[in-house]
Structures are given as C-alpha cells and as structure tokens.
A and B are shown apart, each in its own frame.
Chain A
Amino acid sequence: MEQDPATGATSNNRKHDPDAMSGIVLELISAVARDRDKTAFATLFGYYAPRVKSYLRGLRVDERQAEDLAQDVMLAVWRKAALYDPSKAAPGTWIFTIARNRFIDAVRRDNRPELDPDDPTLAPNAPIAADDDLASQEISLRVRRALSCLPPDQAQVVTLSFLEGLAHSAIAEELGVPLGTVKSRLRLAFGRLRGVLGDLR
C-alpha cells in the first residue's frame, strides 16, 4: 500500500498508530459521504471490519455472526457517512457506537432508548459550544493516552465493561471483588478521563 503522507510511515506501521490514522480516516469518511467513493470505503473496511469483528467476538458473538455483523456495521458506515459529524465524535468512537448498537439490536434484541440530541428538555443551558473537529479529535487522543496510563485495576474494569460487555455485578464475580469495589474503580477511571479533558470542555 501507499505511504502515509503525514508521517511517511508504511501502512503497516500506521495501523499501530491511531493518532496518525485519525486524519486519514476523516478524509476517507468524507470521500464516502461526498463522492460515494468505493475505494475509500474499501480502505475503511480493511481497517475497521476486522476490529469490529474482534470487538464482537469479545462480546461472545460466534464467529459466523460476528463476521455478518461486522459487515452490517461497515454497510451502516457507507449509508450513514453523510450523517457523521466529526465535531461530535472521532471516527473510531462513531464506529464503536454503530457496532455497539448493532450488537444490542441483533444479539441482545433490546429496545434501547437513545438520548435525543434535539431533545429540548435536555441541557437548555449547556449548548455543545466550543466543539469543533479539532476538539473531538483531541478528546479521542487524550482519552487514548489517559486509558494507557490508568492503574491496572482500573484499566481492567474498563476493559471488561467495554470489550466484554459485562455488567458491574458480573465483573465483581469474575474478579472476585465486592460490587462496590468495581463501581468505585470505574468511577475513578471515569473521573480521571473527565479530568484530562477539563480544559477542553
């Protein structure tokens, strides 16, 4: 594959450098949205489909269904590319939410309510003000760094929560610690991540 113009890294290295990926992925999504560019889509597919599949496998979805759902998620990326708003979420975050929702719909078959961004009852005094593309990319960058710096016991509960989809009680059982300990570790991790974003928001 071609070289990354920004860093000169080969595509192989680039895979392991999500920070450098972000700008390129934004370009690809906008090419899909604007030009219905299938080559751009194929590149997104090559990068994200196997990661979405790993995510679903972690949630104990079987191989066959994980393959199908990963494909569904990527088709949703194709369909919804024009709705993607870089000011609200980094690409990986956006794709994570699509994959999570697909899992909830197709595997758990739950009818989950979403917070409606246009809900007038929500946050009359808190417009999502100074956000721009940069801010959402910066959030993603800082969250990634903060995650890698979490104490191991906090990182563990965050991982079990997101990547294995375990409820707090199931995490407590898995680790053999009291429910309150799981909750306080998660709360600390969340507080820490909010903390590193303090000046952004």
Chain B
Amino acid sequence: MSVTHHLGGEWIMAYASGALSEGEAVLVASHLSFLPDARKHIAVAEAMGGALIECLAPSPMETVALADALARIDGMHDAPHDPRPFRPSASASQPGGGHGLPAPLHQWMGGDLDALDWNFLGPGMRKATLWGDTDGQRLTMLRARPGARIPRHDHSGTELVLVLRGHFFDERGIFRPGDVNERHVNEAHAVTIGRGEECMCLALTHGPLLFESPFVRLFQRIAGLFQNPHPPAAGRR
C-alpha cells in the first residue's frame, strides 16, 4: 500500500488547526490514515498550535472562575476515562475486512454502504451524498464501474477525490487507494475508471463540474447527469 498522490502539508496544518470544514476533515483524516508518517506530521502541526497558544497574551478570567472550576471538580465523579475520542472496535477496523473503509471514515459514517441513498450520477456511476454545508461543499461517496468515463470538465472550486477501492486515471497518472486528486478552478481533466474492479471514491466538491461538451452540459441540466448533489435533508449526517 503505497500512496503516490498525497495532500500537501498545508492540508495537514489546516486539519491540525481545526480550520477545515467537517467534510474536509473527514476526507483529510481518511487520506492520512493511509500514510505511514501521518501521526508524526500531525504531531508537528499540533506542536505549532501548542507553541502559538503558549505565546498568546493572556485574557484575564473572571475572578470567580477558579473557585467555580474547583466547585465543579468537587461535584464530579472521577471517571476512569473520557469517551472522546471514540475508538472503533478492533474488528471494525481490520484493514480491508468487512467495510474496507479507512477508520476515520468508518467511525464517522458507520460501515454500511448499502444503507446509503445511492443515486444515478452518470453511465455506470452512482453517488451517495454524506454531508453538505451552506457554502456549497459536498462530501459524496462515488462508485463507478470498471472502464467508466467522466468527460473532460473543469471545477467551480477546490475538489478532492480520495480513492478507497479500485483505481482511476487522468493525465496526472494513476490514482490508487489512499491517493488524492486535488483539483482547482482552471484545472480541467477527463477521468477514466481502471479495468478490473469497481472504483469507490470519497469526493469533496465545491460547486458543479463544468463540462466542456455542450452535449454533456445539456444532459447535466435536464437529466441530472453529473449533478452536484443536494445535501442530505438534515444538512448534515
């Protein structure tokens, strides 16, 4: 398992700083769980946060704050451990076992892919929306048949596609499980799903895909082809 297309350090810093949206954090954490050095990288980025917080000028707390805190401590029952962060059971996080999802994704969404609301995306392709926000970001699970194609298109915002299973390629090369294809405005590409097995990806999109072909654009509008999905009814999972 070797990741060749990985996210840059700016994403690790954004993850550590807490500045990512929920959908971005799910995708970045899932990607990092494929990387041998992820823990070290996050530790470095979090150490930056620690160093910065130590250097902040203090904002005085109210005079009763400490007394309040001590009173709350007296009212506490010492629990042996805190439930956060949640640890999935060992069986749930066996690599490739059962769900085959990266642990952070599994922890966040549960492992039941069949329970998702799968919709038509394009020929041989289905999508299930996992999360959306009011900014137009969407986190989507995509499944595509071997050999399926997405015609050449540009992007209305940053797009991150993390491969979970199978592979696809574009002019940057082959993307295998753990790889992320990061695309921006003015970075058009055409995608072909590799032969052999179904390709499953986690995709974070921001706005609709902008197809070059007027024909595809027409079908995008009237038939929902490659439509940017609406967020789930609740707005979030």
Contact residues of A with B, CB < 8 Å? 18, 21, 36, 38, 41-42, 45-46, 49-55, 57-58, 66-67, 70-71, 74-76, 78-80, 83, 88-97, 99-101, 103-104, 108, 110-126, 128, 136, 139-140, 143-144, 147, 158-159, 161-163, 165-169, 179-180, 182-184, 186-187, 189-191, 193-194, 197, 201
Q: A139-B47, A143-B47, A194-B44 are in contact. Are A161 and B33 (CB under 8 A)?
A: no
Complex interface: chain A residues within 8 A of B34 (CB):
121
Binds A, one of B61-69, B115-123, B148-156: B61-69
Cα A45 to Cα B61 in complex, Å, equals: 10
Q: Give me 26 A-to-B residue pairs in the complex whose CB atoms sit less than 8 angstroms apart, sorted by A's number.
A: A18-B55, A50-B58, A52-B53, A54-B57, A55-B53, A71-B68, A78-B69, A93-B43, A93-B47, A93-B50, A101-B84, A113-B25, A113-B26, A113-B104, A115-B39, A121-B94, A121-B103, A128-B40, A136-B43, A140-B51, A143-B48, A147-B48, A161-B14, A169-B158, A187-B9, A197-B44
B108 touches A116 (CB 8 A): no
B40 smallest CB distance to A (angstroms): 5
Tell me, rounded to whole Å, the shortest Cβ–Cβ distance linking B33 to chain A: 5
Contacts of A88 in B (CB 8 A): 43
Out of A67, A97, A114, A123, name the residue touching B49 (CB < 8 Å). Answer: A97
A116 near B93 with CB under 8 A, answer yes
Query: How far, in angstroms, from A157 to B84 measured CA to CA in the complex?
Result: 30
- Contact at A161–B19, with CB atoms within 8 Å? yes
List residues of chain B with CB under 8 Å of any chain A CB. Answer: 8-10, 12-14, 16-22, 25-26, 29-30, 32-62, 65-66, 68-70, 72-73, 76, 78-79, 81-82, 84-88, 90, 93-95, 102-105, 107-108, 158, 184, 236-237
Does A126 lie within 8 Å of B29, measured CB to CB? no
B39 cross-chain contacts in A, Cβ below 8 A: 115, 117, 122-123, 126, 128
Contact A51 B56 (CB under 8 A): yes
Alpha-carbon separation in the docked complex, A189 to B26 (Å):
24
